[in-house]
Amino acid sequence: MTRFDLSPLFRTTVGFDRLFQLFDEMAETPTSAYPPYNIEKIDENNYRISMAVAGFRPEELEVELKQNQLSVQGKIASQQDSDIPNNTSNFLHRGIAERAFSRQFSLAEHVRVENAQLENGLLHIELLREIPEEAKPKQIPVQLKNSSAKLQTPKSANEASAPAVKQAQSA
């Protein structure tokens, strides 16, 4: 597997340690194709993860958010524990997987899980990005530092025009 050297990025970035750690974790984590899933961007701040979990009941699915790591696990209950009668059919083809799974998603800062719903064999996990006011971009005014005199703002329009009138009269 190819490893990328991220050291040039360290010279021009500050506070992105978690991002670089995520790159390393993604490179080391083996990926599985089961269960298939979609990630949708609904609008600027809303996202949806949809997972095909046919054969799973809500009580057999576990969705957990821990330190920006979303974990989805599915465990099929054994037939003895289930209230579904034991099926004695002989399958000629069994294409619907009934195996346990675990899938991990790394969420960005300020992304929270709104809800999780099971509908028609799809698990929909709604995500919302809420950026706090203090994290939103803001303009920082640049002030002129004058060591000999402090800047004073005039209190009224007459005071502002008074120095200009005195200069014109003396000239």
Q: In terms of Cα–Cα distance, which of 120, 102, 124, 121 is closest to 42?
A: 124
Stretches where the chain sits below pLDDT 70 are 1-20, 22-31, 78-88, 147-171
Helix, strand, or coil here: 60? helix
What is the CATH classification number for the domain harbouring 126? Answer: 2.60.40.790
In the chain, at which residue ranges do the beta strands (DSSP E only) sit? 37-41, 46-52, 61-66, 69-74, 101-106, 111-119, 122-129
Q: Establish if 105 belongs to a structural domain.
A: yes
Q: Establish if 56 belongs to a structural domain.
A: yes
User: Looking at residue 13, what is its pLDDT?
Assistant: 62
pTM listed for this prediction: 0.59
Give the total number of structural domains in the chain: 1
User: Looking at residue 33, what is its pLDDT?
Assistant: 78
Domain of residue 67 covers 33-79+95-132
User: Looking at residue 53, what is its pLDDT?
Assistant: 92
Which tokens sit at 109? 């800062």
